[in-house]
Copies of this chain bind each other. A is one copy, B any other.
Amino acid sequence: MSNKPDGSPIVGILMGSDSDLEAMSSCPEVLAELGIPHEIRILSAHRTPEKTAEYARTARERGLEVLICGAGGAAHLAGVVAADTILPVIGVPMKTSTLGGQDSLLSMVQMPRGIPVATVAIGPAGAKNAGLLAAQILALSRPELAEKLCRYREKMAAEVLAKDARLQKLGVSDYQAKKNSG
């Protein structure tokens, strides 16, 4: 799926600290599930500003097409990266123990005119959706990935309908009991 013959990554996942790794883990998982080559980097907007800027500035020439940044609190990583590349940058606000991630969300989404960050939901749900959003972007020029995404959507729908059918069959109590024991 890579533009380069060596299967080099087309999505770069960045996070400001390895404490964000667990919350971000569903992002590389969904990319892997969809067969999208990616790399994961720990780079801080504040502690390694030059390395971060260098990464952003060279991302496009190295064949990356979408960048995903997870960060919390005064979450500047996505904005700082977006300032140094014209690649689409997706921001995943991390939940914070104090304000629940409201700080991370506002620090990412309220970007000024000129430099957008495509912000998704706070925490793990956002991490997974960042991967899917990257896939939807990449699928514009990759019909086989578009096909995979259509099948992924169908699978999600089927899972909901299966749960619904199961709930009709078992009733609430048995459904919950089996789910908890499952």
Smallest CB separation, A172 vs chain B (Å): 6
Q: Does A6 contact B (CB under 8 A)?
A: no
Q: Which of B72, B84, B130, B150 contacts A86 (CB 8 A)?
A: B150
On chain A, which size bracket covers the interface?
35 or more
Contact in complex: A88, B119 (CB < 8 Å): no
Q: Does A114 contact B (CB under 8 A)?
A: yes
A179 to B58, CA, bound (A): 30
Instruction: Kindly report how many copies of this chain are found in the complex they form together.
Output: 8
Asked whether A111 and B46 contact (CB < 8 A) given A74-B121, A76-B80, A97-B95, the answer is yes
Contact in complex: A156, B114 (CB < 8 Å): yes
| Interface hits, A47-62 → B, CB 8 Å | 47-51, 53, 60
Contact in complex: A108, B47 (CB < 8 Å): no
Contact in complex: A47, B160 (CB < 8 Å): yes
> How would residues 148 to 174 of chain A score, 1 for a CB under 8 Å from any chain B CB and 0 otherwise?
011001001101110110011000100
Smallest CB separation, A117 vs chain B (Å): 7
Contact in complex: B95, A109 (CB < 8 Å): no
Asked whether A163 and B120 contact (CB < 8 A) given A47-B115, A110-B74, A153-B86, the answer is no
- What residue of chain B has the Cβ atom nearest to residue A124's Cβ? B113
Most buried by B among A43, A159, A164: A164
A107 to B104, CA, bound (A): 8
Q: Does A69 contact B (CB under 8 A)?
A: no
Chain A interfacial positions (CB closer than 8 Å to B): 16-18, 21-22, 25-26, 28, 39-51, 53, 60, 65, 72-76, 79-80, 82-84, 86-88, 90, 95-103, 105-123, 125, 128-130, 132-133, 136-141, 146, 149-150, 153, 156-157, 159-161, 163-164, 167-168, 172, 175-176, 179
